[in-house]
Amino acid sequence: MDIRKGIGVSPGVAIAQAFVLDAEELHIPQRRVRPEAIAEELQRLADALARSQEELISLRDRTAQRLGTELAAIFDFHLALLNDNTLQERFRDSINKEFVTAESAVAGVLRSYAKEFLQMPQEWADRVKDVYDIEKRLLRQLIGQSRENLTKLRGDVVLLARDLTPSQTANLNREHIRGLATDAGGRTSHTAIVAKALGIPAVVGLNDVTTSANAGDIVIIDGNRGVVIIDPDQPTLEQHRQYERRLVEFEQSLDLVRDLPAVTLDGHEVTLLGNIEFPEEALTVLGKGGTGIGLYRTEFLYLGQETEPTEEEHYKAYCQVLEVMGDRPVTIRTLDLGADKYTQKRSAIPERNPFLGCRSIRFCFQNMGLFKTQLRAILRASMNGNISVMFPLITSIMELRQAKMILRDVMEDLEDEGIHVRSDVPIGMMVEVPSAALQCNDFAEEVDFFSIGTNDLIQYTLAVDRANERVAPLFTGANPAVLGLIKQVIRAGQRHDVDVSLCGEMGGEIEYTLLLLGMGLRTFSVAPPSIPELKKLIRSVTIEHARQVARRVSTFVTDTEILSYLRDQVRQVMPEAF
């Protein structure tokens, strides 16, 4: 039995066999397979060799045509290496005798092969780069295969991965994946957000879970405590099965408040909206007692498929959400691509620092066709429901004005084409960069609403990468500087009569609810599974109590004092939440 501690990002307990996904290209863990799986590994190796050979032949022929036979000869060398019987025999031997996966065999054999090259005369030693190249090609074939397998799962599994790419996350097989554990990631990485939205128990930031477990091992994922247990003994297994039953009972007890209004004991109304990534989640929001969508992360439409979505695809997705929501509010955020929500492979120019790079609204401004396609679809859909448009990652007034101007242009184009759209669609912005929070009084003159994105606001205020497990303990909304910015935005909203909601993960974390209410926040947009718990707490407190909490918090100067005080307060009102 092996117990690992990580960051619990999506609650619940999952117990199932492990499916280990090798998602990292060059670090291939030495992973053993069961003897009965050897034949399958040998077949995977043979397929990878054959496909790599086809690739090389076509590359050689194309290079010869374009650049001449001399340059094309490099691929002849690769082909000769790949077809070398002795080398192929070494791969097979490694699988047969060491019981490892095909990718482990390829990585292991080619790395020692590379070392042998380095011992040779210079002319050969220089060719070590070609050995690495062959290794990469073969590994890509093999890893590509295991990625494909992910969509073809038959039985229930818990998925262990280094991390998931956004497109893998967007295509997660919800039917068979009971739980998720990753080596990388933080509390608000895209993997964490999607797992929570889908209600899949998840733990991230485990560092080495993929090298600690073998495919087929029984694994427990405890998303509440952030613990993963590999190969548990019988008493531990039984204990977790009981714990799982208790959690289900707690969930069921929350069903009782689902259809009741979110009103405090002293009669203050609070609005609870849902965050969604996929149109189908709109139903879940209603099922959990949400009264609208406060954040539709439309970039997942993009991430879930290979090609750019067309205007019709955007339009269909938005109408699907509106059909479910009726006249309830739906806030559509324009594409927030880039940084962690864009595979670097798909970015034409890889960036050294993508979180500070061409992401989000900046990316849209540089890809005007893509941006306008989405705006057209949103405006057309505006005729079918209660839509608002929200721009992400706004950092300056000029940027906001530019986004609004483009929206107006698109509106005029549609009118010229005789397509009717609503001219009074509310326009809002995410406040998720410190510059926007600090200048919120000016921004308030130019928008209809603010939505505070604490995931990015924390990241940019504290200089902590939200997806990096190595700095995850530094990522906290309880930092007084972060709280100061949030307070400032809520105040600006009150002063200028601009609606303010909060849609970062912090809004769904029960320890912050009292504090945020006390600061004056009245609209929360959270992952749908968090809605019932939040509602139960709101119905159990008074605004007077919340204000006292906020006043007390403003006297503390460290995040640890704040968090322990807040936990204590919530525990007194709703002990079962912990």
Active site residues: 190, 503
To ligand PEP, the closest distance from the beta carbon of 224 in angstroms equals 21
Q: Are strands 427-431 and 386-391 parallel, antiparallel or unpaired?
A: parallel
Q: Is 109 in the site for ligand PEP (CB under 6 A)?
A: no
Is the Cβ of residue 188 or residue 271 nearer to ligand PEP in the bound state? 188
Q: Is 504 in the site for ligand PEP (CB under 6 A)?
A: yes
Q: Restricting to residues 409-448, which ones interact with Mg ion according to CB under 5 A?
A: 432
To Mg ion, the closest distance from the beta carbon of 145 in angstroms equals 34
Position with the least CB separation from ligand PEP: 453
| Maximum CA extent, the chain | 84
Q: Is 187 in the site for ligand PEP (CB under 6 A)?
A: no
Kindly give the interhelix angle for 480-496 and 454-462, rounded to the nearest 10 degrees. 130
Instruction: Return the residue of 163, 222, 281, 336 that touches ligand PEP, per CB under 6 A.
Output: 336
- The 3-state secondary structure of 343-400 reads CHHHCCCCCCCHHHCCCHHHHHHHCHHHHHHHHHHHHHHHHHCEEEEEECCCCCHHHH
Letters for 104-123 (x = contact with Mg ion by CB under 5 A, - = none) are: --------------------
Partners of 427 in the β-ladder: 389
Q: Restricting to residues 436-465, which ones interact with ligand PEP according to CB under 6 A?
A: 453-456
Of the candidates 246, 221, 317, 325, which has an alpha carbon nearest to the alpha carbon of residue 278? 317
Of the candidates 64, 93, 91, 92, which has an alpha carbon nearest to the alpha carbon of residue 76? 64
To Mg ion, the closest distance from the beta carbon of 395 in angstroms equals 12
Q: Restricting to residues 403-432, which ones interact with ligand PEP according to CB under 6 A?
A: 432
Is the Cβ of residue 107 or residue 295 nearer to ligand PEP in the bound state? 295
Q: Using DSSP, state whether 506 is helix, strand or coil.
A: helix
What Cα–Cα distance (Å) separates residue 105 from each residue in 113, 131, 209?
12, 14, 20
Other CB atoms within 10 A of residue 112 CB = 11
Is the Cβ of residue 117 or residue 365 nearer to ligand PEP in the bound state? 365
To ligand PEP, the closest distance from the beta carbon of 504 in angstroms equals 3
454 binds, among Mg ion, ligand PEP, none (CB under 5 to 8 A by kind): ligand PEP
Letters for 287-326 (x = contact with ligand PEP by CB under 6 A, - = none) are: --------x-x-----------------------------
To ligand PEP, the closest distance from the beta carbon of 169 in angstroms equals 12
To ligand PEP, the closest distance from the beta carbon of 188 in angstroms equals 6
Instruction: Return the residue of 33, 503, 541, 566 that touches ligand PEP, per CB under 6 A.
Output: 503
Is the Cβ of residue 464 or residue 503 nearer to ligand PEP in the bound state? 503
The answer to whether 528 touches 194, Cβ cutoff 8 Å, is no
338 binds, among ligand PEP, Mg ion, none (CB under 5 to 8 A by kind): none
549 binds, among Mg ion, ligand PEP, none (CB under 5 to 8 A by kind): none
Is the Cβ of residue 399 or residue 456 nearer to Mg ion in the bound state? 456
Is the Cβ of residue 299 or residue 432 nearer to Mg ion in the bound state? 432
Number of residues that bind ligand PEP (CB under 6 A): 12
To ligand PEP, the closest distance from the beta carbon of 485 in angstroms equals 12
Q: Restricting to residues 447-466, which ones interact with Mg ion according to CB under 5 A?
A: 453, 456
Of the candidates 150, 235, 147, 160, which has an alpha carbon nearest to the alpha carbon of residue 4? 160
Please state the separation of Cα 316 from the chain's center in Å.
23
What is the sign of the dihedral through the CA atoms of 30, 36, 42 and 47?
negative
Sequence-distant (≥ 6) Cβ neighbours of residue 218 within 8 angstroms: 15, 16, 17, 18, 231, 232, 237
504 binds, among ligand PEP, Mg ion, none (CB under 5 to 8 A by kind): ligand PEP
By the 10 Å C-beta count (0-12 exposed, 13-18 middle, 19+ buried), 236 is classed as middle
Chain contacts with Mg ion (rule: CB under 5 A): 432, 453, 456
Chain contacts with ligand PEP (rule: CB under 6 A): 188, 193, 295, 297, 336, 432, 453-456, 503-504
